Structure 1
Amino acid sequence: MSSSSHLNELVRQFCQQRPIRAGSLIITIFGDAIAPRGGTVWLGSLIQVLESLGLNQRLVRTSVFRLSKEENWLSAEQVGRRAYYSVTSQGRRRFDKAFKRIYAPVLPEWDGSWCLVVLSQLPTEKRQEVRDELQWMGFGAFSPTLMAAPNYDMLELRNTLQELDALDGSILFETRQNETSSSRALREQSRECWNLDQISDSYRQFLDRFRPVWQELKNKDSLDPQECFIARTLMIHEYRKLLLRDPQLPAELLPPDWSGVAARQLCRNLYSLVCGPSEVYIGESMETAEGPLPEPTPAFYKRFGGLKV
């Protein structure tokens, strides 16, 4: 148990979820901490680390097995009596899509253009699959067969539709910059289409939960590495879930009381504060078959615009 009452409360809240989404938390740890250090870890050391987050050995083993056998996030290798788990190539592509949104320093400026995808020529079952994937990527449903996103990378969109075997059945358009890019009607359409009020409320709850942790830790003379790892993991885990619902729209399309900006700033500040000690804990607590995890790649230190560790 941590000496921080705020951290203990966060762990308690996580463990009270029903069902406990251990697999989702494990994915967070792989993407945030293990992937930058080679992407492979000994299961035994992962189990020990997750004990501090309230997960028992049986639950961790079951969750990792499912991530490997059923969901293709991880692959397993047996070395003697020890099992080592690595991020699959498909899992790494998923990480790249999700985590580059999390650690981006700022959102790119918007030139007023839109990317439109018409799905009317896709079979009904395939259409729903594509809609789900596009919504995960930040597209909104302007109608049952029209998906739209401001200023989206067309190459990335084409690659995604190709992977889904839906490129030939989709119709793609790009609009040009226009004077009505921030009109009242378009802002209201965006608010309804992406349910921005609900997302903003979720960001406010995130701020209420993690501000006390930030305030407590920043006033400490020295930081405990394990506590820093717990704070970092739970924060990124919750923030990742929020970003999966947040289309990260340009400021011109957001309501004036949008709380996502403050949430990103808090996330950046707290991550920068705990990163150094948490990396010490990760290096001392997690292993590969060759020993401790390798040092993070240089790209790791570019998160949130640059980390000072």
Structure 2
Amino acid sequence: MARPRRTEDLVPQLLQAVGPRAKSLIITVYGDAILPHGGTAWLGSLIDLMAHFDLSERIVRTSVFRLCKDDWLANTQIGRRSFYRVTESGRERFTAAERRIYAPLARGWDRGWHMLLIGQSAIPAETREKLRRELGWLGFGAVSPTVLTHPSCDEVAVHRLLGELGVADKVVLMKATHDRSGGAAALRDLVRSCWDIDQLESDYAGFLARFRPVWQALDEQETLDPRLCFVLRTLMIHDFRRILLRDPMLPPELLPPDWNGQASRMLTRNLYRLIRRPSESFLMSELKTADGPLPEALQYFYARFGGLDDDRADRAAD
């Protein structure tokens, strides 16, 4: 994306470049912004909020209805107003994504590998296919149709998936350790055969091209517009999330030098920190709950990306 001459030009350019789908964008807004503030919002205020992304009332209503069918959201009717809250299932999915999207920059690796072995006869074919697909979303790579592996998987999310599909007692999940006597070249070849590293590198390069100009434009501003910051924060997290949830988040030792994924995470962290306060101000002025304005963000919000400034601590110090 070319560097815009005015900050007002940022949003139209990014909306065109990112091209978010309404349903997916609402998931981003709930996961990134609404859930840390309790997870509930009045539909009317949500419609007004999503209008800043050029989404019509009809599209928002239709998308929210579909998110209820998919068990992301649930509706509570109070008088003539509808309030949509995150379901327990949705909360679990958001929590799993939270651990990946807002992880600290540095990640340690004990050189261990999780190996998941799928029996061919114990699990119906349809369930096997869904299991492999869902494990792919959790970052597992396929060594063979019945053996999947990951060097640093989210064990909580894996056990939750196995339980949901009813296959916890039909697969073998084990931990292996890489024998360093083997060549590093063979390990790199294995990584490239299990994961599409080149495509991810290209996707992250596109992300950097879209959001580095945003950083440059905003970093030069003395004051930041709250509405602009909220829209940019949402589009950034939405774009980053779409790539990251296809990224196995391999340890640096297994990735090419100057990995674009690490540069993208650093840019996302820095830009998020820059625009977090004004974007939060706008969010809390726009959204309403059954009890009034959104409550303050929960403590876990301030742990994102290894730590954000806590406004409450600032106010206490004044």
TM-score (norm. length: structure 1): 0.94
5 Å-filtered alignment, 1:148-167, equals 148-152=149-153, 154=155, 156-167=157-168
Secondary structure of 2:82's match?
strand
Secondary structure of 1:4's match?
helix
Question: Aligned in 2, Cα 1:171/1:245: closer, same or farther, shift over 3 Å?
Answer: same
Which residue of the partner structure matches residue 46 of structure 1? 46
Which residue of the partner structure matches residue 101 of structure 1? 100
Which residue of the partner structure matches residue 248 of structure 2? 247
AA aligned to 2:70 is E
Q: Distance in 2 between matches of 1:274 and 1:174?
A: 41
1:82-112 deviation digits (Å, cap 9, x = unpaired): 1100000000000000111111113431111
Which residue of the partner structure matches residue 12 of structure 1? 16
5 Å-filtered alignment, 1:1-309, equals 3-14=7-18, 17=19, 21-68=21-68, 70-121=69-120, 122-152=123-153, 154=155, 156-179=157-180, 183-308=184-309, 309=311
Q: Is the 8 A contact 1:113 1:178 kept in 2?
A: no
Question: Aligned in 2, Cα 1:168/1:282: closer, same or farther, shift over 3 Å?
Answer: same
Which residue of the partner structure matches residue 316 of structure 2? none
CA shift for structure 1 position 160? 2.3
Q: Is the 8 A contact 1:74 1:91 kept in 2?
A: yes
- RMSD over aligned Cα atoms: 1.6
- The aligned length equals 303
AA aligned to 1:293 is L
Q: Is the 8 A contact 1:118 1:170 kept in 2?
A: yes
1:206-227 deviation digits (Å, cap 9, x = unpaired): 0000011111011101000000
Secondary structure of 1:307's match?
coil
CA shift for structure 1 position 229? 0.1
Q: Is the 8 A contact 2:105 2:262 kept in 1?
A: no
1:194-245 deviation digits (Å, cap 9, x = unpaired): 1010001000000000011111011101000000001100000011111111
CA shift for structure 1 position 11? 2.0
Q: Distance in 1 between matches of 2:182 and 2:300?
A: 34
Q: Distance in 1 between matches of 2:92 and 2:125?
A: 27
Question: Aligned in 2, Cα 1:273/1:155: closer, same or farther, shift over 3 Å?
Answer: closer
AA aligned to 1:12 is Q
Q: Distance in 1 between matches of 2:75 and 2:159?
A: 32
Question: Aligned in 2, Cα 1:294/1:39: closer, same or farther, shift over 3 Å?
Answer: same
CA shift for structure 1 position 181? 7.5
Q: Is the 8 A contact 2:118 2:147 kept in 1?
A: yes
Secondary structure of 2:245's match?
helix
What stretches of structure 2 of length at least 5 have no aligned partner? 1-5, 312-318
CA shift for structure 1 position 289? 1.1
TM-score (norm. length: structure 2): 0.91
CA shift for structure 1 position 192? 2.7
Identity, in percent, stands at: 49
Q: Is the 8 A contact 1:187 1:255 kept in 2?
A: no
Q: Distance in 2 between matches of 1:144 and 1:107?
A: 32
Question: Aligned in 2, Cα 1:210/1:180: closer, same or farther, shift over 3 Å?
Answer: farther
Question: Aligned in 2, Cα 1:5/1:127: closer, same or farther, shift over 3 Å?
Answer: same
AA aligned to 1:78 is Q
Question: Aligned in 2, Cα 1:306/1:205: closer, same or farther, shift over 3 Å?
Answer: same
AA aligned to 2:254 is L
What stretches of structure 1 of length at least 5 have no aligned partner? none
Secondary structure of 1:109's match?
coil
CA shift for structure 1 position 7? 2.2
Secondary structure of 2:53's match?
coil
